[in-house]
A and B are shown apart, each in its own frame.
Chain A
């Protein structure tokens, strides 16, 4: 409860900061919208040329991509921690975080919030509606709840992997290039999993489970019964991976060395 109210307090402050720069906000909003539109057009063009991929139709692939964008947007809005090492370890901002009576990871998340990323989710939903309409998907009343659950699960998986990577900074203060590499790997989750080799499929399911962010949960809505088991695993995987990341984080904080001054 306390954490929820702190969350909204931070969010309110975030909005105020953004609203202070009215011109900036407008420009940012328009440019975000434009880049999303460009993305959309690009996708339609690219997928316009593929009709069938391993038994998946163009619209199904598009639908998966659209779904993927939603948890990805949630992740991007709240787990903007790619510069954690630089900002919090090297510059010592972590000192300040650790003197406040709120869990340190929660504070970092709140401080680095970037709500405009959520726009990407809107694009994702537009794509889903477009692809879904062409596929004549039928939805149940409870699908909306499953959708939310899957989105949260997917975002938690993303968050788990990237928070775990960020904790490396507690052990080694050298900068690593793992983060960008991981961003690349994470993109594989947005394509039908069975187009990959067995090993890659295994990795994307159990080790770096990015398949749970895109293809598995999306298959549920596409009515692909063979993937249902995986689809329902999504929230569980999310919780497990995020829990591991929090555990690593807590262990890392104990090793925090502070910035020398």
Chain B
């Protein structure tokens, strides 16, 4: 069964612009200029039950808008959305009982009351029975290590503590589908690791589908086999992370720190005939060569033979860099 089915989904917003000056403001009173902005532009994809999918894109690419349509917060302009076999905005109240949502920048918990009181309220709201709650949440609370935090009010928690509680709160009704919007934003490494580990665990244990948006590519690398990449409201890549790396991350980077300053022309001439691109580093004597792995020895030997170097580093191309490259070019080829 598919957890999420999206077909030609579109969301348009009217964006009003105001004219300049007093006369402009006066004219705005009667007729306002507006543009229609397509935040999400005819996207289609499906997510199978149990998949963990990374949904990535730059700010304003339409990630949040998509998530909000999938969770029933926003009504789509056109297109089809079926999530957990339901139409999110039409059957909102029945539908949201089957999903869990965490917005990293917005608290789901009540600020003034103790965490366990928030849980108790949510338990009531989601109509979870005492036995189910106990069986499921005892485990969640233990794994996320939030037992000692339960009797503290949310406003007294640190960001990392709060985030773990948010995650637990989103799982009170043990939903088959979990939406996480920037769940690790601003968290330190240890908390991040703990959260990732926890997400993996519930995915294995309950076959929970997880859709995750994040700016932190390492989240995606750790959790998701599949990524959907969005740019200006359109899907520009949908497939495995592995394949993305193979197509884009082929080759290695070698960073040379030369003893003297170097120019691009000299280096180009040096590696003439080889498939190498050079990029200038922060200083005039630091240059990075990007070359297929097979050519690596050749490049190094040519450089070292002619010029004296102080230092040399060989790096894999990071996923982050791959994604940045894709955004710079706009489309994914291959």
Contacts and interface: CB of A to CB of B under 8 A. Distances in A.
A13 B120 CA distance: 9
Interface in B54-83: 64-65, 68, 71-75
Given A101-B94, A101-B125, A256-B74, A95 B106 contact: yes
Contact of B89 (A93, A254, A261): A254
B246 interface: no
A242 to B, nearest CB: 19
A98 B92 contact: yes
A205 B66 CA distance: 46
A20 B74 contact: no
Nearest to B68: A258
A9 B124 contact: yes
21 contacts: A13-B113, A13-B121, A17-B113, A95-B73, A96-B107, A96-B108, A98-B71, A98-B72, A99-B72, A99-B73, A99-B99, A99-B108, A100-B96, A101-B94, A101-B97, A101-B125, A254-B75, A254-B89, A255-B75, A256-B74, A258-B65
Majority secondary structure, B binding face? mixed
Given A93-B106, A99-B101, A101-B93, 19 more contacts: A9-B125, A13-B113, A13-B117, A13-B120, A17-B110, A20-B112, A20-B113, A94-B73, A95-B73, A95-B103, A95-B106, A98-B72, A98-B92, A99-B73, A99-B108, A100-B125, A254-B89, A257-B74, A258-B64
Interface residues of B, number: 33
A5 B120 CA distance: 13
Interface string A183-223: 00000000000000000000000000000000000000000
A72 B68 CA distance: 37
A102 interface: yes
B96 A99 contact: yes
B45 interface: no
A136 interface: no
Interface of B: 13, 64-65, 68, 71-75, 89, 92-94, 96-97, 99, 101, 103, 105-108, 110, 112-113, 117, 120-121, 124-127, 153
Interface string A76-115: 0000000000000000111110111111000000000000
